[in-house]
Amino acid sequence: QEWLAIIRQFGGDLKETYGVPVEEIQRGIQSGVRKVNIDTDIRLAMTGAMRQSFAQNPSEFDPRKALIAARKAAAGICKLRFEAFGCAGMGSKIKPIHLDVMAGRYA
């Protein structure tokens, strides 16, 4: 909701938008859920950061500068969610799979 307020503050006209509350996801994880989508939270954060960047720097025309803020906001959301969901620091447990192998799983 923090990012939705920022989007609106800087000219966005979004209706109420919600991801699943973190507490509910944590309960789901305790019950065996292993796939969680946080895309809505990431998109809200990126959109809010870009709108804020453009509004605070109205003479800036290089979108890459706004994307710096957007990437930072997205990283912040990911960090918070990974910590909340108990998966921070687990990257070393992920084994890379070649694209051909992964594609074969969907064939």
What is the value of pTM for the model shown? Answer: 0.76
pLDDT given at position 34: 87
Q: What is the pLDDT along the chain (107 residues), one digit of tens a residue?
A: 788 888 888 888 888 877 788 999 999 999 999 888 899 899 999 999 999 999 999 998 899 999 999 999 999 999 999 999 999 999 899 899 999 999 999 98
User: How confident is the model over 46-72, as pLDDT tens digits?
Assistant: 999 999 999 999 998 899 999 999 999
CA–chain centroid gap for 70, Å, is 10
**Boundaries of every domain in the chain:** 2-106
pLDDT given at position 20: 80
Residue type, 10: F
pLDDT given at position 81: 94
pLDDT given at position 13: 80
pLDDT given at position 57: 92
48 Cβ contact list (under 8 Å, min separation 6): 3, 4, 6, 7, 10, 12, 73
